Amino acid sequence: MNKPIRRVSVFCMLLVLALMIRANWVQGLDASALNANVHNKRTVIEAYSYPRGDIIVGGQPVTKDLLVNGNYYKYRRAYVNGPMYAPVTGYTSQVYGSNLLENVEDGILSGTDSRLFFRNALDTLTGKGKQGGDVVTTIDPKVQQAGWDGLQGKKGAAVALDPSTGAILGLVSFPSYDPSTIAGANDQKAWDALVNDKTNQPMLNRALRATYPPGSTFKLITAAAALETGKVTDINAPTDSPDPYILPGTNNQKLVNEAGDTGCLNATMNDALAMSCNTVFGKLGAEIGQQKMLDEAQKFGFNNSSMTIPVGVTASNFDTNMGPAQTAQSSIGQFDTKATPLQMAMVAAAICNNGTLMKPYLVAEERSATNSVISQTSPTQLSQATSSDVAAKLQTMMVNVVKNGTGTTAQIPGVTVGGKTGTAQHGVDNADNPYAWFVSWAKDGNKQIAVAVVVEDSDTVRNDISGMHLAAPIAKAMMQAYLGK
């Protein structure tokens, strides 16, 4: 009987061997895939087992970590002034993942970034727990607060940039939400309420992720294209513009001016911008041509779907294939032209910065847990949107808008302010309430700021006046907050 017993022994050893091979497979080969599986709660449990680093605004953290000692999770994220900074910080939740800075800067905030490897290894050796690093934003709390206050009771967004560097000074979206309410393990009610609120869309980051028809504010780009292409050389020379303007290639389809018969006939480009003449800029755009308009729009940042600040930004759109009639409409910010508030702030910033468009950025510094700087964002040029000569003419025109035109509500005594209002219809047959825009910049000595504000659902008059009354005061407050005037 010994021969079969020996064989049974070999069989039993093979069984054990099979188990050992399988154990190596699961715990070795498969381990990283298993650890990365979305259903594996260990990742999240680990992430909340120690405090995250902070997101810092104006030297003060706007995030904090509460020691909750929950059933699964030790810490929970909480936010200071959560709703106001939600478009900046985003949220990080024990159940619902994360977004915006909390998401893209997770490596630093959780301390898992490879640049922190040596420090982490050292901490492991010395028995210190894992620590997250801090992310310092470019946001100016005063600017943010001014935008936030201005948008109360409305629906919209405001973005402020430093034109000379591209640093984002303010990033406001309203209505907003408090990310603290969805950070925990049992926040399904709050989450469902936020996600299902289709009318207010509190979690929509309108400043970066919503696109609106830019309306008359787009005339800045048309003006830039006209000057760059040499179509217009003297901003104070009369243009050859009928009123109304029959769209080229159409059967008597008229482009009219919102404000009625206010002198847009053959108006100079300077006056046309101040009065926001559709006829003048529609005709200019059609004559400049679709390709050159597109080139200019793209120099200002349109159609760039890969821009990150480092949070991803939705691309603004200027159609790439249009006939002259559509080009005319697109040149006054209608048809398929759409822009994020950040995009229109970039337009103002480029004009303010003598034609040089700086890449917008939200993160000034990344720091380790011991406050040593890991990386610092240095301003980079995104493009040369116009020559400095053209930019100077555009500045003159924008100052004229604020001094004598539709943007008088943005005047700040003792400060050079340039701006442009806009109103964009939307909805079927333009039935919905229009969007009110104001795009502006202000210079005071070495300090500069560019702001774009959009207000949805304005119930007031459907013309450029709404941009002047609804959006411009918010932009003015933000500029004042920054300049201290």
Partner 1 sequence: MTALESPAVVIAPKGAPIRRNTELSLLVFAALVPVLAYAETGLSMDGRLPAGMLWYGLGLGGFALLAHLSVRRCAPHADPLMLPIAALLNGLGLVFIWRLDKARELHPNYPAAQNQLLWSGLGIALFVAVMALLKDHRRLQRYTYLSGFAALVLLALPAFFPARAGDFGARIWLHLGSFSIQPGEFVKILLPVFFSGFLMVKRDALALASRRVLGLYLPRGRDLGPIVVVWALSVLILVFETDLGTSVLFFGIFVVMLYVATQRTSWVLFGALMAGLGFWAVTRAEGHVRGRIDEWLHPLAAARGAGVGQIGQALFALGAGGAFGTGLGQGHSWLIGFAAKSDFILGTIGEETGVAGVIAVLLLYGLLAERGLRTALAARDPFGKLLAVGLAAAFALQVFIVAGGVTGTIPLTGMTLPFVAQGGSSVITNWALVAVLLKISDLARRPAPGESLQPGTTP
Tell me, residue by residue from 411 to 430, as one string, x for binding to partner 1 by CB under 8 A and - for no binding. Answer: --------------------
- Shortest distance (Å) from residue 22 CB to partner 1: 4
Q: Nearest to residue 458, comparing CAs of 484, 429, 428, 432?
A: 432
- Shortest distance (Å) from residue 37 CB to partner 1: 6
Number of residues that bind partner 1 (CB under 8 A): 37
Q: Is 4 in the site for partner 1 (CB under 8 A)?
A: yes
- Shortest distance (Å) from residue 31 CB to partner 1: 4
Which residues between 62 and 101 bind partner 1 (CB under 8 A)?
71-72
Nearer to partner 1, 19 or 373 (CB): 19
First-residue to last-residue Cα distance in the chain: 103
Nearer to partner 1, 125 or 431 (CB): 125
Q: Is 31 in the site for partner 1 (CB under 8 A)?
A: yes
Specify the stretch interacting with partner 1 by CB under 8 A; choose among 25-33, 51-59, 143-151, 323-331: 25-33
Nearer to partner 1, 1 or 431 (CB): 1
Q: Which of 6, 115, 128, 485: binder of partner 1 (CB under 8 A)?
A: 6
- Shortest distance (Å) from residue 47 CB to partner 1: 13
Nearer to partner 1, 42 or 115 (CB): 42
Which residues between 43 and 62 bind partner 1 (CB under 8 A)?
45
Q: Is 33 in the site for partner 1 (CB under 8 A)?
A: yes
Nearer to partner 1, 39 or 414 (CB): 39
* Catalytic residue numbers, as ranges: 216
Q: Is 195 in the site for partner 1 (CB under 8 A)?
A: no
Q: Is 124 in the site for partner 1 (CB under 8 A)?
A: no
- Shortest distance (Å) from residue 129 CB to partner 1: 13
- Shortest distance (Å) from residue 53 CB to partner 1: 23
Specify the stretch interacting with partner 1 by CB under 8 A; choose among 17-25, 98-106, 249-257, 372-380: 17-25
Q: Is 196 in the site for partner 1 (CB under 8 A)?
A: no
Cis peptide before 310 (omega within 30 of 0): yes
Q: Is 16 in the site for partner 1 (CB under 8 A)?
A: yes
Nearer to partner 1, 10 or 461 (CB): 10
- Shortest distance (Å) from residue 10 CB to partner 1: 10
Specify the stretch interacting with partner 1 by CB under 8 A; choose among 16-24, 213-221, 441-449, 472-480: 16-24
**Dihedrals phi, psi of 256, to nearest 5 degrees:** -115, 170
Nearer to partner 1, 43 or 291 (CB): 43
Residues at the contact surface with partner 1, assessed by CB under 8 A = 1-9, 11-13, 15-16, 18-20, 22-24, 26-28, 30-35, 37, 39-42, 45, 71-72
